[in-house]
Structure 1
Amino acid sequence: MSFVPARTGVWLMGARGSVATTAVTGALALRAGLAGTDGCVTELPALARPWLPPIPSLVFGGHDIADTPLPKKAEALGAAGVLPAHLASALTAELSEVDAAVLPLPPSVDGIARDLVAFREAHGLDRVVVINVASTEPVPSDDLLNADAETLPPSSRAAWAAFLAGCAYVDFTPSTGARLPALDALAREHGVPYAGNDGKTGETLVKSVLAPMFAARNLRVRSWSGLNLLGGGDGARLADPAANAAKTASKQRVLADTLGYQPQGTTRIDYVETLGDFKAAWDLISFSGFLGTTMRMEFTWHGCDSALAAPLILDLARLTAAAHAAGRSGPLPELAFFFKDPIGTAPAALADQWSLLTSFVEDLSGSFPGAGEV
């Protein structure tokens, strides 16, 4: 008998946003044979396994406070060059079907949990992964540890509800999410894994490659400053100083973790409305070498945020669901490859994170003995 992967649902917090819409449209396009798998890390030979839930089989639902239907959002993203323009019209019926499973956000943790259980039961799913792609929250106050379920920030209430419902949780934002001792205990109690935080898609991805180069060559980084220009809904949200502070702290952390010290300099994020869903970053690095000779390096990054993030959402859904099926609970530091500020103890350099990720997949293979290899 051939191996059949578990039937997996993906519940998106912020389901009508640009990242979620791009991820859903991409999965539907793969199902219809209208797109390839470029950008999907789990499709690489080192990670592809038959026990991972196939992308075309993923079932989507979610919560959102926005009311723009997914077909309209996809149409707008097509007009902006984020998606191939023909996909929105080709997948209107399929997007409408997913949109019917996007619900208003309930005011209580129990209400969120009930929606998750109903979604799982209605679609006959083996498990559900909740992924937070909603707007970035401000840095929490010091008294957060004493908050109850209903006064936690939205990302933490979503994590709480996911764990109560027996669902895995992934935070693709720098928000608090599951990073609270009480939530870690709850995840372990209910036997579910979680991962995060803050998806690594642009400037920080480059930092996680370049910083180890300087460290390995024993070159002293004197300063590293970056300017990020971002449009779209994320850019507008980050115009709020409190949300901006949470994001910049996440982006800067990789340097100290990799180099072993914090060089001078800052990361700045500015909102430029005309950029839409695209972003640009410019970094200036000064460093010194033998005899103290000072040198510098510059790089510029231009990218489409949703197109970079969306395939990682699909990857994380597949890997986290597989970890859940294998009996993992609590944090998944092995997924650090995907995050700016990963939960748990993990290396900061991208190459080391890649090695950790491939070892994780290899270890999980032992939990699916009937699946064979690709």
Structure 2
Amino acid sequence: MSASDSVPRVGVWLIGARGSVATTVVAGCAAMTAGLHPPTGLLTETPPFTESGLPALSSLVFGGHDTVDCPLPKRAEALAAGGVLRTVRAWSGTNLLGGGDGASLADPSAAAAKNAGKERVLADTLGTTPEGEVHIDDVPALGDWKTAWDHIAFDGFLGTRMVLQTTWQGCDSSLAAPLVLDLARLAARAQERGLSGPLSELGFYFKDPVGEGPAGLGEQYARLVGFAERLREERTEGGQRGGRFADGPVAEGADGEGGGGGGGSVGSADRSGEQR
């Protein structure tokens, strides 16, 4: 028996085997197996699944049935002509702000500083700087409300070009107030437990955290939950705890003042729906 014969095979039977989805599945698997395309969109090709013992893409064998008689290669050619068989490429946004924020950010230098922070978040999260710009407009009639619109161009499975558009509206003070309350309680508990210095685990609350720490929201939340676990621990003898939190400069708080709730950004301590 040859080496190839000893490789376990997994059969995949497709209902509607000559439709767009099935054709893309078959052609995509072949393209990725041949190294022609990266496995964009496949969670099972990400590091958490590396050691899970999943069957290799090359071990999948496809079959199926359909009521149409168009040959699979012809269907694939039609999809390719439509741009299907070709990651964030561009991100543009517009923020309409009223109240004090809108007036403050009408100053070009202030708007440039805020946009620079947003661009850093995107670069850290995506691993690259996409095309596009963010525009901030002062609309006094909105009062304490803000509207954010984002246009995101990205490549999907097999490089398929797609667009995601979001429109969001919220009340700035109602968004920021619970974050301030959270930070006050967490900082007070940290002090009670004998902690001092920067608390980089609170980076979840800031658009542009200072110091070292993950940029992804999910990772930031995981660190915050871990911080909550540490706050449950008992003090060591003498009221001091062993070890230290990650080093980094103390961040400015929600009112722009320095404080013990580090890990934050220069500016407001909120995730208020604008492009991060």
Q: TM-score range by the shorter chain?
A: 0.5 to 0.7
Task: Determine the structure 2 residue equivalent to 1:313.
Answer: 180
**1:1-374 residue pairs with structure 2 within 5 A?**
220-367=87-234
Name the SS for the 2:210 alignment partner.
Answer: coil
Q: Give the letter for the 2:216 counterpart.
A: A
- Rounded to whole Å, the distance in 2 between the matches of 1:298 and 1:335 is 29
Could you tell me how far apart the structure 2 residues matched to 1:365 and 1:306 are? 31
* Offset of residue 241 of structure 1: 1.0
- By how many angstroms is 1:347 displaced? 1.2
- Say whether the 8 Å CA contact 2:91–2:150 is kept in structure 1: yes
User: What SS does structure 1 have at the residue aligned with 2:170?
Assistant: strand
Alpha-carbon contact 1:332-1:343 (below 8 Å) kept: no
Report SS of the residue matched to 1:269: strand
The answer to whether the 8 Å contact 1:214/1:221 transfers is no
Q: What is the identity, as a one-letter code, of the residue corresponding to 1:301?
A: W
Number of corresponding residues: 156
1:172-228 superposed Cα distances (whole Å, 9 cap, x missing partner): xxxxxxxxxxxxxxxxxxxxxxxxxxxxxxxxxxxxxxxxx989699x100001100
**Distance in structure 1 (CA, Å) of the matches to 2:194 and 2:117:** 30
SS where residue 331 of structure 1 aligns?
coil
Deviations 1:60-104 (A, max 9, x none): xxxxxxxxxxxxxxxxxxxxxxxxxxxxxxxxxxxxxxxxxxxxx
Cα deviation for residue 252 of structure 1 reads 2.5
Q: State whether residues 331 and 343 of structure 1, in contact with CA within 8 Å, keep that contact through their aligned partners in structure 2.
A: no
Instruction: State the distance in 2 between where 1:362 and 1:240 align.
Output: 42
Q: Distance in 2 between matches of 1:337 and 1:249?
A: 19
**SS of the counterpart of 2:132?**
coil
CA distance in 1, matches of 2:136, 2:234: 43
2 CA distance for matches of 1:327 and 1:342?
23
Overall identity of the aligned pairs, in %: 59
Name the one with the larger helix percent.
Answer: 1
RMSD between superposed Cα atoms in Å? 2.3
C-alpha contact 2:194 2:235 (8 A) present in aligned 1: no
Which blocks of at least 5 consecutive residues in structure 2 are unaligned? 1-39, 47-86, 237-276
Whichever residue aligns with residue 95 of structure 2, its letter is N
> Contact 2:91–2:151 (CA<8 Å) still a contact in 1?
yes
Distance 2:135 2:177 in 1: 24
Residue identity matched to 1:229: L
The one-letter code sitting in structure 2 at the alignment partner of 1:248 is N
Tell me: higher relative CO, structure 1 or 2? Use CA pairs within 8 A at least 6 residues apart: 1
Give, as a single letter, the amino acid of the residue that structure 2 aligns with 1:356. Answer: R
Which contiguous aligned blocks of 4+ residues in structure 1 show a shift greater than 4 angstroms? 213-218
Distance 2:41 2:113 in 1: 26
